Amino acid sequence: MSKPIICVVGTGGTIASKFDARLGGHVSTASAQDLVSAVPELVDIADICVLEHSNINSALMDTATAFGLRDTLRKVLKDDAVAGAVVTHGTATLEETAYLMDLTVGGNKPVVFTGAQRNADEKDPDGPRNLLYAAMIAAHPEAKGRGVLVALGGEIHAARDVTKINPETITCFGARDGGAVGSVTKGGVTFFSMPQRRVHLEINQVRENVHIIRMGQGGNDLLFRACIRERVDGIVVEATGGGNVNLPFYNGVCAAIDAGIPVVAGLRLPSGAPHLGKGYQGSYQSLMAKGAISSGYLSGLKARILLMAALGHTSDLKQLREIFARAGGGA
C-alpha cells in the first residue's frame, strides 16, 4: 500500500534553535528540512514534503505571520494527494497560533502542531521524537475531522483547550478543562475523545489590536483609559474568582463599552468559566448586564484570538456573543 503524504511546515522555535556564540544564546536557525532530515524514521510513516513558512522563535511571532500560516496550510491541504500537515512551532505562543488555525483553516484534513522544550543542538533533544509522533498522528485515519491538534511529550491536545503549563518540562502542555484528547507512543496513536465546541470563521483578516487586561487586587482603570484613548479593537478582561472585578475595573469596562469597544469577560484562573451569582457592581452578573461578552471556558489567550478572528467576520455584538457562546460555552 502507498504511504500517505504529510507536509511538514516549519515556523521556527526551540525545536529549530541552535547556539549562537555571537549572541550568547540559542536562536531559531535550523530549517524545516534540517528537522525532517534528523528523523529518518519518518519515511516509515509517510512520504514527507517540506515547506518553510517562517523561522523565528515564537515569542517573536506576529499576527500577520501567524495568520499567513492559514493561507500556507490551505494551499498545502488543497492538494488531494496530501493527507495532512505537521507544523513545527515554538512553544511560547504555539497555543495561540494553533487556535487561530483551528478557527480559520477549515476542512477535515488533520493539522498537528508540535515543537520542543530542548534546543536542536542539545545531546538529548525532544524535537525529533515529537516530530515523528506528530507525523504519526497526521497520517492516522482517525485524526480526520478533529481540527487542529497539538502533540508534545506523547500527549495529544485540542487547539481550543491546550495551554502551556511549564517552561521546561517535556510534557509542557495541558488542557484547561477537557484533558488530553489522545496519546501517541512508538506503538501507535490512540484517541480518547473528539474535540468539542469548534467554530469555523471564513475571514480574510483579523483585527489584531485586541488587548488582555488582568485584574489584580487593588487594580485601577489605567489600562482601560489607555485602550479607550487609543481606540483599540477589543479588550479581554481576566477577572478574579467566578468573573468578578473591583469597582475601578467595572468603571473601566463600562467606559470601554460606552466607547463602542467590545469587551470579553473571562477568568484569570487556570480552569473553569465565569458564573452568575454575585450582585454588586463589578460582579460578573453586572458585567453581563452592562453588555460584556462572556468568554465561557476559554482562557484569556484563546478569548483574545477568538475576538481578533470574530471581529474580522463581524462587528455586530449579537453575532459576537453567539460566536463566543458556541466556542466558549458557560453561563
Q: Three-state SS string across 164-188, please? A: ECCCCCCCCEEECCCCCCEEEECCE
Q: Is 153:130 a contact under the CB 8 Å cutoff?
A: yes
C-alpha pair distances (Å), 263 with each of 39, 154, 209, 287: 46, 37, 13, 9
Please give the Cα distance from 121 to 127 (Å, whole number). Answer: 10
Please give the Cα distance from 2 to 173 (Å, whole number). Answer: 34
Please give the Cα distance from 35 to 131 (Å, whole number). Answer: 8
C-alpha pair distances (Å), 197 with each of 145, 325, 329: 13, 9, 8
- Beta-carbon contacts of 140 under 8 Å, excluding residues fewer than 6 positions away, are 110, 189
Instruction: Please identify every residue annotated as catalytic.
Output: 14
In three-state secondary structure terms, 94 is: helix
- Cell of residue 143, nine digits: 485524526
C-alpha pair distances (Å), 89 with each of 34, 108, 141, 322: 14, 21, 23, 31
